[in-house]
Structure 1
Amino acid sequence: MAVPLPAVAERMNNPKNPVVFFDVTIGGQSDGTGSFSIYGGSQFADENFQVKHSSPGMLSMANSGRDTNGCQFFITCAPCDFLDGKHVVFGQIVDGMLVLKKIENVPTGANNRPKVPVLISQCGEM
């Protein structure tokens, strides 16, 4: 279960497999080109950079530069301080880190794409 910060309850340090992060695609644009916003339009501004990418399980907005957030996000699998100040952290996994580890260990092929489909469903709604 992922919850919005500041309800951060779990911190994990020293991951065995220092994979940086994996991308999450919602809907049909699996090539990374699609973007839409619940605020209207395709992009919205950065909120703040107060929360850092300090541990595995951080949920953060994917973007192509300042104030270009849309609907894409990623989940860190290790501390990623190089992302601080560039990507807004909006939540953290507090239950289900084992699921994250299982996804992290799915074999990948060309372009680091999973060799088998990974589907996350029935995990919440807006």
Structure 2
Amino acid sequence: MAAKNLPKVFFDVAVNGTPKGRMTFKLFADTVPKTAENFRALCTGEKGIGKSGKALTYKNSAFHRIIPGFMAQGGDFTLGDGRGGESIYGHKFNDENFTLKHQGKGILSMANAGPNTNGSQFFITFDSTPWLDGNHTVFGQITDGKDVLDLLEQYGTQSGRPTAKIEIVDSGELKE
């Protein structure tokens, strides 16, 4: 995970339409290149329109599920409720590997509906979640904006339904 020149991406987050700051992530393209490339391209929106007819981008999508002490989930830009999403490769793609683990806060991992069902949905951990190892592909980690991640957690509920509209108002890649 110490490889140089790993891609870096960002989310600018708003709560109920009010800008709250930026989260920056490094993507482990050296370990999970296909998964990292999917997320990077969805941050930039460079792939255009997907098979769903929706733009392949996280921009203007929401965090639809936030559970304090666990994680914040987003990336459903087709339906917005956790039932949709689409990868840059089509609708779903296979689990690349489970080399990286859910150790600590700010781990970026693929949300899925079982083996080999990755699309665009992802989650960011609020704590270590070792029970997810072997089921969800870890592909990144927060590098800046942990205060924004802490803020997201405050809007979570045990049911997962956020108490406010948490939106990614902009996303992209940071070039060094």
> CA RMSD, aligned part only?
2.1
SS in 1 for 2:168: coil
SS in 1 for 2:86: coil
What do the CA deviations read for 1:5-64 (whole angstroms, capped 9, x no partner)? 279xxxxxxxxxx61112114424122111311012x11011111110001101100111
Rounded Cα–Cα distance in structure 1 between residues aligned with 2:93 and 2:156: 34
Give the residue type in structure 2 aligned to 1:113.
R
Partner of 2:164: 116
Give the residue type in structure 2 aligned to 1:30.
G
> Aligned match of 2:150 in 91, 98, 101?
101
Partner of 1:29: 79
Equivalent positions of 1:43-58 (< 5 A) are 43-58=92-107
Rounded Cα–Cα distance in structure 2 between residues aligned with 1:49 and 1:107: 27
Q: Does 1:2 align with 2:52?
A: no
Give the residue type in structure 2 aligned to 1:29.
L
Rounded Cα–Cα distance in structure 2 between residues aligned with 1:24 and 1:122: 14
Identity of aligned residues (%): 44
Rounded Cα–Cα distance in structure 1 between residues aligned with 2:29 and 2:93: 21
Report which of the two has the higher share of strand: 2
What TM-score results when the alignment is normalised by the length of structure 1?
0.79
SS in 1 for 2:152: helix
Rounded Cα–Cα distance in structure 2 between residues aligned with 1:33 and 1:122: 22
Q: Give the drift of 1:124.
A: 1.2
Rounded Cα–Cα distance in structure 1 between residues aligned with 2:29 and 2:153: 25
Rounded Cα–Cα distance in structure 1 between residues aligned with 2:72 and 2:156: 13
Structure 2, unpaired ranges of 5+ = 1-23, 31-67
